[in-house]
Structure 1
Amino acid sequence: MFQKATRKKAKLRLALIGPSGSGKTFSALELASGLGGKIALIDTERGSGDLYADRFVYDTLQLEPPFTPQKYIQAIKAAEDEGYSVVIIDSLSHAWAGEGGILDIHDNASKASRSGNGYMAWKDVTPQHERIINAILGASVHVIGTIRTKTAYEVVEDERGKKAPKRIGLAPIQRQGMEYEFTCVLDLAVDSHVASASKDRTGMFDGQHFVITERTGEQLLEWLEAGDEPAPKVDQFAEWRAQIKTAPSLEKLIEVWGQMDRDTREALEQDKNDRKDELFREAA
């Protein structure tokens, strides 16, 4: 039944959006340092994440193409298992438009279908993208994701009245609306690295224009820690496994199996088969 709403302590889910050169990686490391604890950086930018090793203390994992959803999910899980406090995903754009990413998967699914209907192919591809989102939202660590924007130029007039081309960012290179899965979304200007919030559930950055520093991470941590203690997190995988192993009937086994996503089914295939054999023997 309904209960009084209370704000719980939470882990950060923050997206940094901007064109190349806007300072997304550096800003992410500043934020992560303010949040505190061990920092893990998932690097899809061919080693560029190591460039700031003289400024910050962090560990990197090089993610090589193909940039499949499963690789991202495994990397996030590995960071959790290895005790990191903050995970930086640099960048999430490769999961969408990189080699082997969602758009490649969709293209291959469209070609493989008899009709060649790209719209229908999204039925199978969308759940794979949603698994990345669920991995981010369900992680037991702070998550900072960087997202590239397409770059364009416009001619602007400076303070002296002279006209010159200025680089600007356009739409994020990710599925439309994905950025709004995050608690906070900060857009970075390419020339000045100034951040502004396009979405901010914290209410801390509304109407502000600022350069991200370690103090920004400290302020976010204060807000995140100000709520009540959350309820203990349920280990869903362990729960599924227990239900499979103790299913009292074949019908219940089928019911439980039908509630799982594909990745969980793959991991528990042997347990399911073992329990099915046991149930057949018990019925004999």
Structure 2
Amino acid sequence: MAGFEIHRATKRRAKLRLGMSGPAGSGKTYSALLIAGGLGGRIGMIDTEHGSGDLYADLLPEGYDVLQLTPPYSPARYIEAIHALEDAGVQTIIIDSLSHAWTGEGGSLDRQGKIADKSGNSWQAWRQVTPEHNALVEALLQSRCHIIATMRAKTEYVQEKDDRTGKSVVRKVGLAPVMRDGIEYEFTTFFELDVHHMAFAGKDRTRLFDGTIFKPDMETGHQLLAWLDSGVDAPVKRAMSEEQRVEACNAISNANTLDELFKAFSLGYRAATALSDNEALAELTALKNERKAWLEAQHEPVGIAA
């Protein structure tokens, strides 16, 4: 019978995994920056919103760095951007926005459609695209940085009566985030913002915001940081096993596309980071860069089927 590890439930120190969705104009970028400012430390933003990340350059006293991500918005490129900011030494990564990885040019829906058109098999296309999406989710969950990911929300206009005037008014409301169904469950906390910049916690494992409607600010970041730091340190392991290391290196060296490469690297990176194995991390990163250069020299399309 397989052995299982059983341990007493213990709250451990953790990194923030915060998702935020809202319609256009709800203040997702602004709120994400304020919360990140409350967390403290160096902030890096992955900006897919055509330079909107630079619009708030004067918002935070310490400023923040911006990585401009342009099409194709494949999960692999998001993973590479996350690792680039990690290597640059940031403590909090804002992804503004994650929706492009799903609906943008070169995103998962775009890739699935192109693969299905070429093969004639929609189900087979999802079998190829889903692991790429899952690798991005793993990169978010396993990052050594705090992660704040904004998402656009599907919008709808509703007509309702104004309590003060008695007249009918049209109001814009946000619905589900523009991302793969169920993405909310991957985060520790998920805020839904409205056009008045007010937030409601649709999911909150911290229990700090249950049943409240509030405007996110730096104090929100302070509250989240206090909760994240209130646990005990996780036990530190020293190194990957030789078998893990060889398997990760082989997967990277044998990758035939950039998507395969970044999926393989993400899995190896996760294992090395979890074990605090900096030597293995350096080896895998060098191997990834070498394989990436070779693939690009072969004119491999960046994550998009021809």
Distance 2:238 2:47 in 1: 29
Specify which of 176, 183, 188 is matched with residue 183 of structure 1.
Answer: 188
Task: Verify the 8 A CA contact 2:248 2:264 in the aligned structure 1.
Answer: no
Task: Specify every segment of 5 or more residues in structure 2 that has no aligned partner in the other structure, as ranges.
Answer: 266-283, 292-306
Count of matched residue pairs: 257
The CA deviation string for residues 36-89 of structure 1, in whole angstroms up to 9 with x for no partner, is 000001000000111100112111011001111111001110111111010000
For residues 241 and 170 of structure 2, the distance between their equivalents in structure 1, rounded to whole angstroms, comes to 53
Could you say which residue in structure 2 is the equivalent of 1:100?
A: 106
Kindly report the root-mean-square deviation, in angstroms, between the aligned alpha carbons of the 2 structures.
2.6
1:152 to 1:265, Cα distance in 2 relative to 1, 3 A? closer
2:231 corresponding residue in structure 1: 227
5 Å-filtered alignment, 1:168-179, equals 168-179=173-184
Matching residue of 2:170: 165
Structure 1, unaligned runs of 5 or more: 246-252, 272-284
Counterpart Cα distance in 2 of 1:236 and 1:175: 32
**In 1, Cα distance between the equivalents of 2:136 and 2:264?**
17
- Per the alignment, do residues 237 and 12 of structure 1 end up closer, same or farther by CA in structure 2, a change over 3 Å counting? farther
Query: 1:176, 1:236 → 2: CA distance?
Result: 34
Q: Does 1:58 align with 2:50?
A: no
Runs of 4+ in 1 over 3 A off after TM superposition: 233-245, 264-271
For the Cα contact (< 8 Å) 2:188–2:206, is it kept in 1?
yes
Given candidates 112, 118, 139, the residue that maps to 1:135 is: 139
The equivalent of 2:85 in structure 1 is 79
Over the matched positions of the two proteins, sequence identity in percent amounts to 48
Q: Give the match for residue 9 of structure 1.
A: 13
SS at match of 2:160: strand
> Cα distance, 1:230 vs. partner?
1.2
C-alpha change, 1:233 and 1:217, in structure 2 (3 Å) is farther
Structure 1 pair 153/2, CA: closer, same or farther in 2 (3 Å)? same
Matched, 1:122 2:123: no
- Give the match's secondary structure for 2:55: helix
* Preserved contact between residue 158 and residue 171 of structure 2 (Cα < 8 Å): yes
2:126 corresponds to which letter in structure 1? W
Q: 2:152 aligns with which of 148, 154, 158?
A: 148
Q: CA deviation at 1:262?
A: 3.6
The code of the aligned residue for 1:22 comes to S
Equivalents in 2 of 1:200, 1:77: separation in Å? 27
Once residues 62 and 79 of structure 1 are traced to their aligned partners in structure 2, the CA distance between those partners, rounded to angstroms, is 11
Report the alpha carbon displacement of residue 244 of structure 1 after superposing the two structures with TM: 7.3
SS of residue matched to 2:49:
coil
Question: Cα 1:170–1:83, aligned 2, differ >3 Å: closer, same or farther?
Answer: same
Q: Which residue pairs with 1:36 in the alignment?
A: 40
How far 1:204 moved relative to its partner? 0.5
Q: TM-score, normalised by structure 1?
A: 0.84
TM-score by length of 2: 0.78
- In structure 2, the residue matched to 1:211 is 215
Letter in 1 for 2:191: L
1:157 deviates by 1.1
